[in-house]
Amino acid sequence: MNLPRHVYHLAEAANWPSIEKHGLLPATELITRAGLSGADRQQLERSQRPGHTVLPGGVEIRDQRPMPAAALSACLVDLDPADWYVLINARVFFWLNPARLNLHRAAYASRPQVVLTLDAAHLVADYGDRAAVSPINSGNARRRPARRGAATFVPYAEWVRSGWASEAAALGTRERSRSHPPAELTITGAIPDAMRYVIATSRLAADKQFEER
């Protein structure tokens, strides 16, 4: 059980100065750095974000339109939608192939983006204790959404050892084949030295898709 050689992170071009200075930060950390608290923080962190949000200071966080609370309520196991939003907002996400990245990019076609191509092995070697893989696009709960819960994010070491067994046991679903590839790699919390693992940076103008060099 191995990850591909490269993983990919899609970021708003407006966030590039922050990435260069602070590394890759999950939405929760960006909200903290923006100084938001109370009801404003609760709204962004524990509820669906229906629109793109520019935080105080200029850093941007994406909408969560594919994750309406009603759809999540129908597919979550042992969590409510607020719990799921917290889980998602605490993680930095990486796609494992350009095709999935470009599906994500299409949702933000009108805005310039930056794609970071990272060395997967080195990233996981240093952040493996906070790394997990997901067999699904965890940010999409539309069109017959797969059952999901905290166990959807299988710790990397557990996945290497036993594939998707822990996900199936916790969610009461049929165990996926060990050959079923992860859809996502996630790291919980900040990756302040993310640029150490970046082997290529691609700037995408509006309406442009990513092509690996």
User: φ, ψ for residue 42 (rounded to 5)?
Assistant: -55, -40
| Single-letter residue type at 67 | M
In a domain, 134, yes or no: yes
pTM to 2 decimals? 0.96
* pLDDT tens digit sequence for 91-135: 999 999 999 999 999 999 899 999 999 999 999 999 999 999 999
Q: How confident is the model at residue 143 (pLDDT cuts 50, 70, 90)?
A: confident
Is 212 within a domain? Answer: no
What does the pLDDT look like over 153-187, one tens digit per residue?
A: 999 999 999 999 999 999 999 999 999 999 999 99
- Residues 130-153: what's their mean pLDDT? 96
Structural domain boundaries enclosing 66: 6-204
Give a yes or no: residue 213 inside a domain: no
Residue 171 CB partners (closer than 8 Å, separation 6+): 77, 147, 148, 149, 151, 152
* φ/ψ bin of 194: left (φ > 0), alpha (ψ from -120 to 50), beta (otherwise): alpha
Whether 152 is in a domain gets the answer: yes
In a domain, 211, yes or no: no
Q: Which residues 6+ apart lie within 8 Å of 80 measured at CB?
A: 73
Q: How many domains does the chain have?
A: 1
Quick one: DSSP state of residue 90? Answer: T
